[in-house]
Amino acid sequence: MKIKLSVLLYLFISVTFVFAAKILAQEPFLLQNVEYQSYDSAAKLEIETNRHVECVIYELEDPHRIVIDPLDTVWCDFEEKVYFEEGVVKSIKFIKGRETPDGPGSPYYPFDFVTVELRSPYPYKLQENDYILTLNIGKDKIPEEEHIPIDMDQAKMIEEAFADEMTVEIELRKETEALSELTEDRMEIDITKDELNKKEKALNREEADLAKEKEILKEDKAKLDKDKEDLKKEIKSLARKRNEIKLPVRPVTDILKGEIPRDYLNKRLALDDCIKIALVNSISIKATKERFKLARMKVNEAFRELFPELTFILDETKGKVSERWYLGRKMGFELKQVVFHGGEQMYLWKQAKANLNVAEENLNKVKEDIIFEVTKAYYELARAENKHNFQQELLEDINADFDIAKKEFEFNLVSEIDFMNIESSISQTYHTLLTTQNSLSLAQLGLNKVMNIDMDAEVEIDSKLEYKELNINLNNCIELALKYRPDYRIRVLNREVAHFTEKLAQSQTFPQIDIFGKFMMAKELLEPTHESLDNRLDSENVMGATVSLPLGPHTLDYQKKRVKLAPTVSTFESNTFYDTSKYRLGIFDNMGRYTEMTNASAGYKDSLEELNKAEQEMQTEVREAIYSLSESKLKIRNVLNNITLYNKELEVARAKKGLGEITFYDLIQSKVKLYTEMSLYKETLGDYYTSVARINKAIGLGGYFN
């Protein structure tokens, strides 16, 4: 009974394995288990897979290895190397192969082959039993488990007995699979229907949202159109306001008031004195004043064109006609008046006044530039003088220490190295003194240059500089620059000039109407005669009007004239009277008017751009000047702190020198540091005053912040 049950179990397992092999035919090859058994000089290695794997085995030397190479791609999740502490096998290595996309995924990896490293060369034998590869190593054989022998006839009967049951089971499985596939198809259809319903609902919602968005877009478009109209109105309003900009009068007193100091080369000059001398000697100031006078004359000329043109005439003639001499005389006046030229004369007058203001601002600009250059050169000279004076004081001070150190060196009280250091400090100080002297000469030349005086003249100035705290507000400076800076005012006035130029070009497209008249008293008499021409003068007059009508590039001219002439010696009637009418049509005779209009419009836009640039430059220059002033203030505070510190260090150094703790070289170095910092203080004060002058130039008011 026990044997039959074993046979039945064996048949059941065999049949199950057959069906499992068919089901798993498409599964990847997996390494499921590795077992190793070792007995003295023999060992057995079993490698179990999920499917039957065809393998090739070969042997390698140095070191001794057995390589098992599967012909199919096998996947495993074992460690790449497995080591054993005893037995004939030293290690097992799984050598990785190339990755393929049809594997089971992490943590499995494909291996190319398996190497079994032996401790010594042993014989081996490979056996294949279903899904287990058995590698026996060594001469001795490892004992196997006992198995009950199976009667093959009984096994065959059992296999036939179960064959029908397996067939029924296979058919039932097929029907189950078909039913499962049908169920899956129905489920897919239901899922598809649900998805279609969802898409239809989403589409309906999108259509509703789209309709709402269309309504919103319509409302936004209407609002945008309204905003555009409002923006156009606002732009026009701003343009009108910008055209109506009125510049305030510059609140600057004439710096030339008062007399220039006579024999100024022998006197100490203040900054105002140097500025007056520079302005008086400036050739650019004189040239700009002449341009200002010319602009004023052009204003008078344009103003004259607003009134009639009146000419008085006195004409006396003497001639011969028909072998007789005659005398003639005419006296009277001629009148011409512009009735309508599209406002041309008025625009010319306003443009001339704007050009006069531009000339005045150019004069102010030249003055401001000279004031700044003189101020800058003045403080450069003051700074150079202070630096030179401090360097002289330092040299005199340390020379006294050098004399004492020299005597101590003669009595061997000072080492040679210390004495050489002292000499080096003296030489360096003397070299610095020469450098400051050269800088002083260059600063003197710079001041003479901007004052336009003799370059070899030696001007004495007040080089005493003191720190005065100034609180200057950035917004206030920008507001002042917008009102009084000459550069910006010139751009504003140039925009006004360009505006009138554009108006003048537009006036050429309007009809032009002029009237004229000539009123004379005239007479001619044959000689000899005893009568006087003064008693027998007759009236003579001419009156008329001209009209010029632009027609695109063409021009239509019309003239109406009425003439009454006094009698002459060649006429038989007492008076001559006639009317004339003239027409003239010029074809393409005035195409330049459109060119002038386009050029004037472009010029006006350029002037607006220049105005914007001038405002940006003004903003930048004012801010840079304010930042420079703040930086100078900070430097002054730092230098004052250093002066206080170096004063204390010098006191300590003198005390230590009295106690013999330091040398003369250390004392001299303390003095050099103090005098250098004091010189730097005066130099920083010069930068501070120059920064204030730069602010005055940026706002266009020289001497405003003093």
C-alpha closest to that of 94 among 72, 70, 58, 71: 70
Q: What CA–CA distance (Å, rounded) separates 165 from 171?
A: 10
Residue 614 to residues 608, 611, 704, Cα–Cα distance (Å)? 10, 5, 21
Reported as a pLDDT band with limits 50, 70 and 90, residue 181 is confident
Mean pLDDT of 404-421: 78
Cα-only R_g, the chain: 58
How large is the average pLDDT for residues 246-268? 63
Mean pLDDT of the chain: 80
Q: Which of these ranges, 18-32, 362-376, 464-478, has the smallest mean pLDDT? A: 18-32
> How far, in Å, CA of 113 to CA of 36, rounded?
18
- Res. 147: pLDDT tops 50: no
> Would you state the pLDDT for residue 20?
46
Joined together, the tokens standing for residue 605 give 């836009």
Q: Is 127 left (phi over 0), alpha (psi -120 to 50) or beta?
A: beta
Greater pLDDT, 400 or 247: 400
pLDDT above 80: residue 473: yes
Question: Per-residue pLDDT tens for 196-221?
Answer: 788 878 888 888 888 888 888 888 78
567 against 371, higher pLDDT: 371
Average pLDDT (165-188) is 70
Residue 414 clears pLDDT 80, i.e. is over it = no
Range in 411-420, 501-510, 608-617, 663-672 with the lowest mean pLDDT: 411-420
pLDDT of residue 1: 39
**Per-residue pLDDT tens for 151-171?**
555 545 545 655 555 665 677
Measure the N-to-C terminal CA separation of the chain; round to a whole number of Å. 130
Q: Is the pLDDT of residue 296 over 90?
A: yes
pLDDT in the model for residue 18: 44
Examine the pLDDT at 293 and tell me if it is beyond 90.
Answer: yes
pLDDT at 4: 42
Complete domains list, the chain, with CATH = 2-150 (2.60.40.3500), 363-494+612-699 (1.20.1600.10)
* Confidence check: pLDDT of 194 > 70: yes
Half-sphere exposure of 53 (CA within 13 A, CB side): 27
pLDDT confidence band for 237 (50 / 70 / 90): low
pLDDT in tens, 527-574: 776 566 666 677 888 999 999 988 888 888 898 999 888 877 766 455
> Residue 398 corresponds to which tokens in the numbers above?
């340390």
Strands of 552-632, DSSP E: 554-565, 576-586
Kindly state the average pLDDT of the residues 44-72: 82
Q: How far, rounded to the nearest angstrom, does the alpha carbon of residue 379 sit from its chain's CA centroid?
A: 35
pLDDT at 297 over 90: yes
Dihedral angle over CA of 175, 178, 184, 189, nearest 10: -120
Q: What is the mean pLDDT of residues 192-199?
A: 79
Say what the pTM is. 0.59
Give the per-residue pLDDT at 539: 82
User: How would you write 467-495 as a 3-class SS string?
Assistant: CCCCCCCHHHHHHHHHHHCHHHHHHHHHH
Tokens found for residue 193: 């229907």
The alpha helices in 305-341, defined as continuous H runs, are: none
Determine the Cα–Cα distance for residues 68 and 53; give it in Å rounded to an integer: 11
In this predicted structure, the answer to whether residue 404 has a pLDDT above a threshold of 70 is yes
